[in-house]
Amino acid sequence: MSYPSKHLLAIEGLEPPHIADLLDLAESYALLNRSGKTQRDLLKGRTLINLFFEDSTRTRTSFELAGKRLGADVINMSVSTSSVNKGETLLDTASTLNAMQCDLLVIRHAQSGAPALLSQKVDAAVINAGDGTHEHPTQALLDALTIRRHKGSLQGLVVAICGDIAHSRVARSNIHLLTTMGSRVRVVGPPTLIPADAARLGVEVFHDMKAGLKDADVVMMLRLQRERMSGGLVPSAREFFRFYGLDAEKLAVAKPDSIVMHPGPMNRGVEIDSAIADHPTRSVIGEQVEMGVACRMAVLDVLARRLPRNR
């Protein structure tokens, strides 16, 4: 296993073999999970702390499940964002976690860069579970694994990432991962929701949904992240759906065997029509959640191997 770091803070900086090895290991965990043989002793005696300063359903539970399936003691700490006095609280938290001799720390924070800051202050291996608008590396890994299972390889695929790109750490991590692995990435959305540096990230920018979806292999929809918007960047949910919501008519221009993805939580009727979200053959949204557990097991596995034996 070629993984280069003590932590997983971002996809940016990882090279194709690092990503491919993580996905191969995650695939083996996916098969193990399906077979029901999930109890292992790999993380026995290790402590994993889930430190979530922002809301989460899927990510927190799947890290919890992944840790438990590998035998770790898992502790969930939820901190309401309103009570957080960023820098100071984080550093106070770091010394508390060190005193508890935590081995693996999973952190989600509204501030971009918070996991990186914490990684300099704690002895634990730190995993970024989403920091502001920066990155959400395990989401990109689970998305890549889901795509690979359907398309065989990421090389040469046309992937259209649609909607609120500007506020999306999911988009950022996916762009880094997919371009590194040789996919052709398009970002599709209104100019107000496309980041200024999009072209520098090696993607093609589309403001017209059908032009962006034309012949795509993968259509990835994103939630409108109103909590991160200042001012009215979108006229109304109804109007957004008309131009950028994924429905059968817009999806018809993508490849006939294209798959539809969404990281969740979904705003049905805003960025995606319910009939598409629940489509029995095109939607892989449920599989993304399943692969989330497998990818997080792979990440915990790889990072735990680098931990000192006794702390």
Comparison of 119 and 139: residue with beta carbon closer to ligand NCD: 139
| C-alpha atoms less than 13 angstroms from C-alpha of 123 in its C-beta half-sphere | 14
Nearest-CA neighbor of 173 among 203, 137, 205? 137
Is 238 part of any known ligand binding site?
A: no
Q: How far is the CB of 162 from ligand NCD (least distance, A)?
A: 13
Q: Is 189 in the site for ligand NCD (CB under 6 A)?
A: no
| Binding-residue total with ligand NCD (CB under 6 A) | 11
Q: How far is the CB of 51 from ligand NCD (least distance, A)?
A: 15
Q: How far apart are CA 106 and CA 48, in angstroms?
A: 7
Q: How far apart are CA 178 and CA 160, in angstroms?
A: 11
Comparison of 63 and 206: residue with beta carbon closer to ligand NCD: 63
Is 136 part of any known ligand binding site?
A: yes
Q: How far apart are CA 214 and CA 256, in angstroms?
A: 11
Is 264 part of any known ligand binding site?
A: yes
Q: Strand 47-52 relative to strand 73-78: parallel, antiparallel, unpaired? A: parallel
Q: Is 59 in the site for ligand NCD (CB under 6 A)?
A: yes
x/- mask, ligand NCD, residues 139-158, rule CB under 6 A, reads x-------------------
Q: Is 175 in the site for ligand NCD (CB under 6 A)?
A: no
Q: How far is the CB of 251 from ligand NCD (least distance, A)?
A: 20
Question: Can you give the length of the chain in residues?
Answer: 311
Is 108 part of any known ligand binding site?
A: yes
Q: Compute and round to an integer the Cα radius of gyration of the chain.
A: 19
Q: How far apart are CA 221 and CA 160, in angstroms?
A: 8
Residues sharing a CB contact under 8 Å with residue 270, sequence separation 6 or more, in sequence order: 224, 237, 240, 241, 245
Contact 206, 224 (CB under 8 A): no
3-state SS of 173-232?
HHHHHHHHCCCEEEEECCHHHCCCCCHHHCCEEECCHHHHHCCCCEEEECCCCHHHCCCC
Q: Is 130 in the site for ligand NCD (CB under 6 A)?
A: yes
Q: How far is the CB of 308 from ligand NCD (least distance, A)?
A: 30
Q: What is the DSSP string of 255-266?
A: -TT-EEE--S--
Q: Is 128 in the site for ligand NCD (CB under 6 A)?
A: no
Of 67, 115, 212, 263, the one binding ligand NCD by CB under 6 A: 263
Binders in 5-44 for ligand NCD, by CB under 6 A: none
Q: How far apart are CA 149 and CA 284, in angstroms?
A: 10
Q: Is 133 in the site for ligand NCD (CB under 6 A)?
A: no
Q: Is 279 in the site for ligand NCD (CB under 6 A)?
A: no
Of 136, 172, 176, 250, the one binding ligand NCD by CB under 6 A: 136
Is 265 part of any known ligand binding site?
A: yes
Binders in 206-225 for ligand NCD, by CB under 6 A: 223, 225
Of 16, 132, 264, 269, the one binding ligand NCD by CB under 6 A: 264
Q: Strand 104-109 relative to strand 125-131: parallel, antiparallel, unpaired? A: parallel
Is 59 part of any known ligand binding site?
A: yes
- Residues in the annotated binding site for L-aspartate: 86, 169, 223
**Which chain residues interact with ligand NCD by CB under 6 A?**
58-59, 130, 136, 139, 169-170, 223, 225, 263-264
